[in-house]
C-alpha cells in the first residue's frame, strides 16, 4: 500500500491508466509521492539537479509542502492535501481533482495550472467550443471522439489537421520521449506545444529503445578478413581451422585472419600462437588519443532519472474561502483537526495587548528604528541545510527541541499525526529561531491521550523530525507589532 504524502491518494484501487494521470510513484527516505504532484504543486520549488532528492526536489522541500498541503482543503472535494493553485483565481485543489474537473496543466517552464473557468483560450479553442466537430476520429486509436469536449482531446497546434483522445496522446508521448512528433505534419515543435494541453512528455529515449535486447540484431554480424592483403587461399570469408577470423579486441566490428595479421605486420611466427591482441587501425588511433579514464555514473535504484524535468517555481497565494479553512501563514485560520493552537506560553510568555502597551511605554526610548521588512521568498524561508542534514539530528534534539516542548499547532492526516513545535535556543537574545514539524503514526504509544501535557514531554527520536523552517509564527507578529508601533 502506497499513499502520496502530498495529495493523500493511495494505490488501493490503482488502475492501469493511473501512471498516465498521476505520474510514477517516487519513493525515497520515507517520502512517497506521485511525480506529477511534485511538478504541479504550485509552491514546491525545484532547487537541485537530477540526482538531488527526488529528481531535483529536495526532500526537506517536499516534506514542508506536504505538511502545508494537509492544512488546505480542495475546492472540489473539500478534503485535505490540496497543493495545486489556479494561476489566475488562486483556488486550491488536488491534482487528481483537477483532472476530474476539467482543469488545465502545463507541463513546462513554471508548470502553471488553471481551473476550467480560467483556462487560457485562443481563437481556435473558442471555435471548437462554439462549433465542435460532429464526427471526429482519434488518429491514434481510430475510435470516435464522442462527446467532443475540449478537455478530452488534443490536437497539433502546428497544423491543426486532426484530433486525438487526451489519454491516447499521453500514452503516445510517454512512450515516444525525445522522438515525439506531430501525428499529422511531423513537426518537431509539437514536442513542446503538446505540453500546454495537459500532456507530460519525458525528456528521454523512446520506450522501444529501452527494451532489453532492443538492438540484439546488431550483434549478428558477418565477419570477414579486413586486411589489405588477405593470405587465406580460400578467401576473406573463410573462418575455419587455422584460418579463424579474430575480431578487434576493442570494437569487435572489424576482423582478420590472425595469420594474415601476423604476415602483414611481419611478426614472428611465435606470436601466431599468442592470445588474440588484434586492434583495428581506427581503435588503435582512438586509444592513443585517450588521456583520461572513463567515469561510470551510477543511477538511483528507486528513482528513474529519465523523468527529470526542470521546473521554475513562482510562489502563489491561495484565494480566501469562507467555507473552506485554507491555511497559509496566517495563524488565525486553522483546520478543524487542530488540537493545539499557538500554545507558545510554556517558555516564552506572549504579552497581552495591555502588557504590550506598557512595554511600549517603558522601552520606547531604548528601541532603535527598524528597517522595513522585505517579503520572504521560498528560498529564504527554508533553513539552508542539504538533504544529508550535516547537523546531527541528535544535536538538534539536544539543543533546540528540549522538553518541555514549545507547542505551536497540530493536525491529523489519515494515519499520521503532525505536531508543530517552536525551536528554542536559550543562548540567543531572541530565543525562538523557527519551527519544526514532527510526524508520528496515530498508533504511536508516546502520544497517549493527545493531551497538552503529554505532547509537551514527548521523548523524541531522529525519525520523528519531518521538516524545519524559520517561520516563528506568533513571535514574528509580535516583532512586526513593535516594528510598526515603536
pTM: 0.61
Position 89 pLDDT exceeds 50:
yes
Same domain, 372 and 434: yes
Domain end position, chosen among 269, 289, 309? 289
Question: In this predicted model, what pLDDT tens digit does every residue of 393-415 receive, in sequence order?
Answer: 666 776 778 788 888 888 888 78
Is the Cα dihedral 166, 171, 172, 173 positive or negative?
positive
CB 432 within 8 A of CB 477: no
Residue 340 lies in a domain: no
Q: What is the pLDDT of residue 459?
A: 87
Same domain, 161 and 238: no
- Paired residues of 245 in beta bridges: 257
Residue 242 lies in a domain: yes
- Please give the mean pLDDT across all residues of the chain: 79
Domain end position, chosen among 246, 271, 289? 289
Q: What is the pLDDT of residue 353?
A: 47
Question: In this predicted model, what pLDDT tens digit does every residue of 10-29 receive, in sequence order?
Answer: 988 888 788 889 999 999 99
Position 167 pLDDT exceeds 90:
yes
Backbone angles phi, psi at 446, to 5 degrees: -70, -25
Same domain, 457 and 412: yes
Position 434 pLDDT exceeds 80:
yes
Using alpha carbons, select from 204, 205, 182 the residue that is nearest to residue 192: 182
- Paired residues of 456 in beta bridges: none
Same domain, 152 and 254: no
Position 169 pLDDT exceeds 70:
yes
CB 65 within 8 A of CB 314: no
Question: What is the average pLDDT across 177-196?
Answer: 93
Same domain, 232 and 283: yes
Same domain, 363 and 421: yes
Same domain, 149 and 231: no
Q: What is the pLDDT of residue 403?
A: 81
Sequence-ordered list of residues with C-beta below 8 angstroms from that of 349, at least 6 positions apart, any chain: none
Angle CA 435–439–444, to nearest 5: 135
Same domain, 461 and 369: yes
Position 432 pLDDT exceeds 90:
no
User: In terms of pLDDT, which residue wins out, 372 or 423?
Assistant: 423
Residue 256 burial by CB count (10 A; 0-12/13-18/19+): exposed, middle or buried?
buried
Domain end position, chosen among 289, 312, 335? 289
Residue 416 lies in a domain: yes
CATH (domain of 284): 3.30.40.10
Same domain, 363 and 453: yes
Question: What is the average pLDDT across 293-318?
Answer: 65
Same domain, 422 and 472: yes
Q: What is the pLDDT of residue 238?
A: 87
Using alpha carbons, select from 80, 89, 3 the residue that is nearest to residue 334: 80
Residue 479 lies in a domain: yes
Interatomic CA distance for residues 450 and 440, integer angstroms? 12
Question: In this predicted model, what pLDDT tens digit does every residue of 369-397 receive, in sequence order?
Answer: 333 333 333 333 343 344 444 456 666 77
- Paired residues of 439 in beta bridges: 418
- How many structural domains comprise the chain? 3
Question: In this predicted model, what pLDDT tens digit does every residue of 468-482 receive, in sequence order?
Answer: 888 887 787 777 777
Same domain, 367 and 409: yes
Same domain, 399 and 451: yes
Residue 271 lies in a domain: yes
- Domain span at residue 464 reads 353-376+388-485
Residue 362 lies in a domain: yes
Position 165 pLDDT exceeds 70:
yes
Residue 223 lies in a domain: yes
Question: What is the average pLDDT across 60-87?
Answer: 94
User: In terms of pLDDT, which residue wins out, 253 or 216?
Assistant: 253
Position 340 pLDDT exceeds 60:
no
| Helix axes 353-363 and 474-485, enclosed angle (nearest 10) | 50
Question: What is the average pLDDT across 57-70?
Answer: 94
Q: What is the pLDDT of residue 339?
A: 43
Share of the chain above pLDDT 70, in %: 77
CB 179 within 8 A of CB 172: no
User: In terms of pLDDT, which residue wins out, 452 or 295?
Assistant: 452
Question: What is the average pLDDT across 194-213?
Answer: 88
Position 5 pLDDT exceeds 80:
yes
Residue 45 lies in a domain: no
Amino acid at each position: 500500500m502506497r499513499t502520496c504524502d502530498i495529495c493523500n491518494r493511495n494505490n488501493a484501487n490503482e488502475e492501469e491508466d493511473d501512471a498516465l494521470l498521476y505520474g510514477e510513484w517516487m519513493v525515497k527516505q520515507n517520502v512517497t509521492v506521485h511525480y506529477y504532484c511534485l511538478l504541479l504543486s504550485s509552491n514546491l520549488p525545484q532547487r537541485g539537479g537530477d540526482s538531488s532528492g527526488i529528481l531535483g526536489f529536495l526532500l526537506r522541500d517536499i516534506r514542508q509542502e506536504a505538511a502545508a498541503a494537509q492544512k488546505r482543503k480542495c475546492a472540489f472535494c473539500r478534503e485535505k492535501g490540496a497543493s495545486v493553485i489556479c494561476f489566475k483565481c488562486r483556488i486550491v485543489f488536488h491534482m487528481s481533482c483537477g483532472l476530474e474537473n476539467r482543469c488545465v496543466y502545463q507541463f513546462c517552464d513554471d508548470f502553471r495550472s488553471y481551473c476550467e473557468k480560467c483556462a487560457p483560450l485562443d481563437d481556435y479553442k473558442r471555435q471548437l467550443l462554439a462549433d465542435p466537430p460532429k464526427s471526429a476520429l482519434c488518429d491514434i486509436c481510430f475510435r470516435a471522439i464522442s462527446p467532443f469536449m475540449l478537455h478530452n482531446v488534443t490536437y497539433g497546434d502546428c497544423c491543426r489537421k486532426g484530433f486525438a483522445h487526451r489519454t491516447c496522446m499521453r500514452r503516445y508521448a510517454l512512450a515516444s520521449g525525445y522522438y515525439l512528433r506531430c501525428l499529422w505534419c511531423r513537426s518537431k515543435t509539437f514536442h513542446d506545444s503538446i505540453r500546454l494541453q495537459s500532456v507530460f512528455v519525458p525528456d528521454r529515449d523512446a520506450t522501444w529503445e529501452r527494451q532489453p535486447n532492443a538492438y540484439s540484431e546488431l550483434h549478428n554480424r558477418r565477419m570477414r578478413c579486413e586486411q589489405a592483403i588477405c593470405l587465406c587461399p580460400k578467401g576473406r570469408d573463410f573462418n575455419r581451422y587455422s584460418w579463424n577470423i579474430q575480431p578487434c579486441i576493442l570494437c569487435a566490428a572489424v576482423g582478420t585472419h590472425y595469420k594474415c595479421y601476423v604476415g602483414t605486420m611481419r611478426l614472428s611466427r611465435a606470436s601466431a600462437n599468442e592470445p588474440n591482441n588484434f586492434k583495428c587501425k581506427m581503435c588503435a588511433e582512438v586509444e592513443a588519443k585517450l588521456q583520461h579514464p572513463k567515469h561510470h555514473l551510477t543511477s538511483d535504484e528507486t528513482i528513474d532519472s529519465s523523468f527529470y524535468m526542470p521546473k521554475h517555481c513562482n510562489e502563489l497565494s491561495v484565494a480566501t474561502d469562507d467555507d473552506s479553512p485554507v491555511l497559509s501563514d496566517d495563524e488565525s485560520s486553522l483546520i478543524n483537526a487542530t488540537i493545539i493552537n499557538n500554545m507558545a506560553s510554556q517558555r516564552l510568555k506572549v504579552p497581552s495587548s495591555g502588557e504590550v502597551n506598557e512595554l511600549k511605554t517603558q522601552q520606547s526610548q531604548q528601541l532603535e528604528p527598524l528597517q522595513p521588512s522585505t517579503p520572504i521568498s521560498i528560498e529564504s524561508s527554508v533553513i539552508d541545510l542539504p538533504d544529508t542534514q550535516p547537523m546531527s539530528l541528535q544535536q538538534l534534539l539536544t539543543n533546540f527541541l528540549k522538553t518541555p516542548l514549545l507547542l505551536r499547532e497540530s493536525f491529523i492526516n489519515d494515519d499520521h499525526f503532525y505536531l508543530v513545535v517552536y525551536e528554542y535556543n536559550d543562548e540567543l537574545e531572541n530565543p525562538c529561531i523557527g519551527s519544526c514539524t514532527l510526524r508520528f503514526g496515530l498508533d504511536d504509544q508516546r502520544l497517549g491521550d493527545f493531551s497538552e501535557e503529554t505532547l509537551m514531554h514527548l521523548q523524541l527520536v531522529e525519525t520523528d523530525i519531518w521538516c524545519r523552517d524559520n517561520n516563528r509564527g506568533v513571535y514574528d507578529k509580535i516583532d512586526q507589532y513593535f516594528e510598526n508601533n515603536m
